[in-house]
Amino acid sequence: MLTLKCPCCGVTAEETEFAPGGEAHLTRFGPGTDDQAFADYLFARKNPRGVHFERWRHAFGCGKWFHAARCTATLEVFGTYTAQTSTPPEELVAKIKAKRPDWEGFA
Amino acid sequence: MSNAISILNGASSSDAVKITDSGLRGMITLRGDLDSAQLKSAVSAAVGSDIPAQRKITHGPMGGVAWMSPDELLLLVAYDQADAITAQISEALGAEHHMAVNVSDARAIFRIEGQGAREVLAKGAPIDLSPEAFGIGDFRRTRVGQLAAAFWMTQTDMFELICFRSVGEFMFDWLTNAARDGSLPEYF
Ligand SMILES: [Zn+2]
């Protein structure tokens, strides 16, 4: 069970109040790109064992989307942050790096 | 004219913690920039209340204002005033980017009253309902059982709860079942 803090309404709530939205920070490949790039955009996911960035929606609360960084192996939540960004905040990346020195970093 | 009635037309249960269909209530969804002075004055003119802080509800002489999300308020007013107040708000906001909609008939509203009202909700909502964590003035959107809902306290041991009208009957049954005499853990 995950406990996430919604950065939009400030609530710290358990998983069942939220809806998962899959991997975060995807680059969209649409019309005009080649088939392989489009297929990868649609189907290829990192699915790491360890640090992962995801989209979540506070479905039963304020209804807003946000981002979360967590570990897929331990379920440790490193932090949540605004949906209005295409990269995780630097402080958060630094915090994760301090906790997981072996992590290759956000790419 | 059609004769509007609420989802269960005022039905109530008979246990110690009593569940009542509160009847018709005017509800207006207002979306926009909550920091805007124009929106503040429109709300204040409509219900006589300030804009509530995050996850709070405020009350004025003409109704209540609840914080729904960073860009959304819910105005609770008299049912027969809802259309007029919606129009009044739209007029006051003019060209400012906003949305005001009368959603009264899309919602159901229930009253949960009696010692143990907190525990009835705590059975279904995944949040801390202890007196230290939730009190008068707080407003929370969450789920009750598997239904989306929002509730607040009107006084000690009395809550009001809103949900979609389409699931109103199920909500009433759920709450009534959770409030059955002898079924409360008496934890709080
Ligand atoms: Zn939220």
Q: Residue B143 pLDDT more than 70? A: yes
Quick one: tokens of A51?
A: 């640090």
Q: Which of B55, B85, B105 is the last residue of a domain?
A: B105
Mean pLDDT of chain B: 96
B99 and B114 fall within a common domain: no
Quick one: tokens of A33?
A: 């790109």
What mean pLDDT is predicted for residues B41-58?
96
B34 and B72 fall within a common domain: yes
Q: What is the ipTM of this complex?
A: 0.92
pLDDT tens-place string over residues B3-35: 999 999 999 999 999 999 999 999 999 999 999
C-alpha B126 to ligand 1 mean position (Å):
14
Which residue range forms the structural domain that includes residue B34? 26-105
B39 and B17 fall within a common domain: no
C-alpha B140 to ligand 1 mean position (Å):
10
The verdict on residue B96 lying in a domain is yes
Q: What is the pLDDT of residue A18?
A: 97
Residue B1 pLDDT class (50, 70, 90 cuts): low
The verdict on residue B185 lying in a domain is no
pLDDT along chain A (107 residues), means of 10: 96 96 95 95 95 98 98 97 97 97 91
B110 and B19 fall within a common domain: yes
Q: What is the pLDDT of residue B2?
A: 82
pLDDT tens-place string over residues B52-72: 999 999 999 999 999 999 999
The answer to whether the Cβ–Cβ distance between B69 and A63 falls below 8 Å is yes
Which residues of B lie closer than 8 Å to A, measured between beta carbons?
54-55, 68-70, 126-127, 140-143, 148
Share of chain B above pLDDT 90, in %: 98
The answer to whether the Cβ–Cβ distance between B142 and A61 falls below 8 Å is yes
The verdict on residue B186 lying in a domain is no
CATH code: domain of residue B33: 3.30.70.1520
What mean pLDDT is predicted for residues B140-149?
97
